[in-house]
Structure 1
Amino acid sequence: MTKFLTGTAVAALSFALVSEAAATEWNASVWGKRRAFTEHVEKLAELVAEKTGGEFTINVSYGGLSKPRENLDGISIGAFEMAQFCAGYHRDKNRAITVLELPFLGVSNLEEEVAVSHAVYDHPAVQDEMAQWNAKILMTSPMPQYNLVGTGDPRETLASMDGMRVRATGGLGEAFSAVGGVPTSVPATEAYNAMESGVVDTVAFAQHAHLSFGTINRADWWTANLNPGTVNCPVVVNTDAYEALSDEHREALDSSIDEAIEHYLANYAELLERWDTVLEEKGVAKVMISDEVLSEFRAKAADPIREKWIADMSGQGLPAQELYDTVVQALEEARGGS
């Protein structure tokens, strides 16, 4: 009887140890607070836990693990297993995906943004560059075209943008520079303070960020249709952590990506439907830029910046023209073209 009980106890202990070994806990580094921009990460964590019966969990940390500009570095050393970052925060570390931040690419909605981003992410040059950081791109964080909020008189002409101090990163910053603006790339979490203290006159964000980071609360006006471009912010995983997953857990993660993106798109669509009401409630004027000014802006920013990017990146050994062509082709396919 004693031997039987001992055997049972050993079996129970062994089962407990196996179960503990089978459990996987990841940490995901994002920033700010939970908002439309992070909903796919939250949904991914939820789906993975459901599919594995709680054996695979992802803890989403809002700034507790790393600063936004250091998330890719944290991934490279395995400080955490998953992270979100924006290409414009460190363009030298993720040169290939900055093609997605070129101004006036012509992407008109979030579904198209997903299509062109994932097409570029699949390019060998992007995968090779991410491998240098021990990172694998999991999915994009699709954002609509950025627009400005500002104080004082609206910036409705290119002349009025000359000397404008604007919080804008990456290709957006270059676009405003092309018309005389003075861009600064302070992190999103510091944009409100920069606006409040007068470090910047205007801030370029997508709608959710103007809400989340409070810049809409200091605004007198918002440009409804400037649409100069957007930023690209992938969600990446540490390659070693990904490869160490069991087949079951890896399948749970991979199979949840599309559903997480769909959840993000549906959630963002609701925010966009409420946007006009938000502007009215906060007393922010909606400014419509004239077609003439928009055409002038594109002429000064789109072609010159694109050609310079292709020349610069080609000079650094990247297949720049091929990456840009990937964007064009993916956009055509997303619109049902051949």
Structure 2
Amino acid sequence: MRKILSRTAVAALSMAFVTEAMATEWNVSLWGKRRAFTEHVEKMAELVSEKTGGEFTLNISYGGLSKNRENLDGISIGAFEMAQFCAGYHRDKNPSITVMELPFLGVSSLEQEIELSMAVYQHPAAIEDLGRWNATLLMPSPLPQYNLVGMGDAPAKLDDFAGLSVRATGGIGKAMETVGAVPTSMSATEVRQAMDSGVVKAVAFAPHAHMSYGTIENATWWTTNLNPGTVNCPVVVNTDALADLSDDHREALLGSVEESLDHYVTTYNGKTMDAWGPALEERGIAKVAFSDAEIAAFKEAAAAPAAKAWIEENTARGLPAQELYDLVTGMIANGS
């Protein structure tokens, strides 16, 4: 009997060891709180767990692992296995994907933003660029065109932006400079305090962020049709960690990208945008619309110079900048 029990105990211990060895846990570094911007990561965690019977789990942290501007650095040293960041936070670290942040590209939907981003992410130059940080681009966090929420007197024309301090990163910041605004780059988590203290008088965000970070609480106006561009915020994984996954776990992860993005788009176009209009109306925030002529002049002043400067700067870095720019603008022109 003792021999039988011993064999049973050994078998149970062996099974427990095998089960533990098969289990995989990844830490995921996000920031802020759960919101429309993170729904694809939340969905991916759900799908990966379901597909692997709980053997592969994504432990999502909102700010507990790293500051948002340091997520790419954390990925590079393997401090965590997955992270989200925005290209404009550190343009010199990921210049290839900043092509998606150029002003007035003319992206018309979240679906198009996904298609364009994935094309850029799969370009050899982008793969090599992010490879310097031991990072593999997994999926974008598609955002609609940014618009401004501000305090004080509402601008009646573009000239009224002259001297206005605006939180605007990347290409949007460059575009705002052309109409005389003074752009300031700061992370999303710093914006509300900057508004409250008067450091900035207006903020360029997508609708979900205006609601999530409270910029509409003190706002008196917002622009309905400025649409200068958006930011590109990929989700990346540590390349070594991806390679170390079993074939089944890797397939569970990579095979969940499309469904996770579909969930994100459905949530953003539905729940988030349904809440945006009422949130403005409840607070009596005035809607500012500019004439077609002013928008056309804004685009003419901002788009071509920014593209030219981006191509020249990144060609000097050794990137095929013209090729990347042509890839994006060509897809847009063809209706992709």
TM-score of the aligned structures, taking structure 2 as reference length: 0.98
Q: Within 5 Å, which residues of 2 pair with 1:293-304?
A: 293-304=294-305
The residue type paired with residue 107 of structure 1 is V
Residue aligning to 1:71:
71
In structure 1, give the amino acid aligned to 2:242: Y
Q: How many residues align?
A: 335
C-alpha distance in structure 2 between counterparts of 1:293 and 1:213, whole Å = 29
Matching residue of 1:105: 105
Secondary structure of 1:66's aligned partner: coil
Match for residue 135 of structure 2?
135
- The code of the aligned residue for 2:317 comes to Q
Kindly report structure 1 stretches of 4+ aligned residues shifted beyond 4 Å: none
- Report the residue type matching 1:122 in the other structure: Q
Q: What amino acid does structure 1 have at the position aligned with 2:284? A: G
CA–CA distance in structure 1, aligned partners of residues 275 and 109 of structure 2: 17
RMSD: 1.0
Identify which range, 61-70 or 175-184, moves more after superposition: 175-184
After TM superposition, list the pairs within 5 Å mapping 1:1-338 onto structure 2.
Answer: 1-270=1-270, 271-332=272-333, 335=335
Q: Deviations over 1:59-110 (max 9, x none)?
A: 1100000001000000000000000000000000000000000000000111
Partner of 1:80, secondary structure, is coil
Partner letter of residue 8 of structure 2?
T
Q: Return the offset for 1:332.
A: 4.2
Per-residue CA deviation, residues 157-189 of structure 1 (Å, 9 max, x unaligned), is 221111111000011111111222111111100
Give the counterpart letter for 1:13 in structure 2: L
Amino acid in structure 2 at the alignment position of 1:296: A
Moved more, 36-45 or 153-162: 153-162
Partner amino acid, structure 1, of 2:279: V
Q: Distance between the aligned counterparts of 1:66 and 1:301, measured in 2?
A: 34
User: Gapped runs of 5+ residues in structure 1?
Assistant: none
Q: What percent identity do the matched residue pairs reach?
A: 63
| Aligned counterparts of 1:11 and 1:4: Cα–Cα separation in 2 | 11
| Per-residue deviation, 1:156 | 3.5
Is this contact kept in 2: 1:115–1:331, CA < 8 A? no
Tell me how far apart the structure 1 counterparts of residues 78 and 163 of structure 2 sit (CA, whole Å). 42
Q: What amino acid maps onto 1:291 in structure 2?
A: D
Taking the aligned partners of 2:260 and 2:91, their CA distance within structure 1 comes to 27
DSSP-derived class of the 1:71 partner: helix
Structure 2 Cα separation of the partners of residues 291 and 266 of structure 1: 30
Deviates more, 1:201-210 or 1:150-159: 150-159
Q: Deviations over 1:138-169 (max 9, x none)?
A: 00000000000001112232211111110000
Q: Is the 8 A contact 1:26 1:80 kept in 2?
A: yes
TM-score by length of structure 1 reads 0.97
Structure 2 unaligned blocks of 5 or more: none
CA distance in 2: counterparts of 1:194 and 1:275, whole angstroms:
22
SS at match of 1:183: strand
Distance 2:86 2:9 in 1: 51
Q: Give the whole-Å Cα distance in 1 for the aligned partners of 2:156 and 2:259.
A: 40
Give the secondary structure class of the aligned counterpart of 1:228: coil
For 1:103, what is the secondary structure of its paired residue? coil
Letter in 1 for 2:244: A
Q: Aligned partners of 1:19 and 1:274: how far apart in 2? A: 44
Q: Deviations over 1:288-333 (max 9, x none)?
A: 1111110111111000110111111111111001001111233345
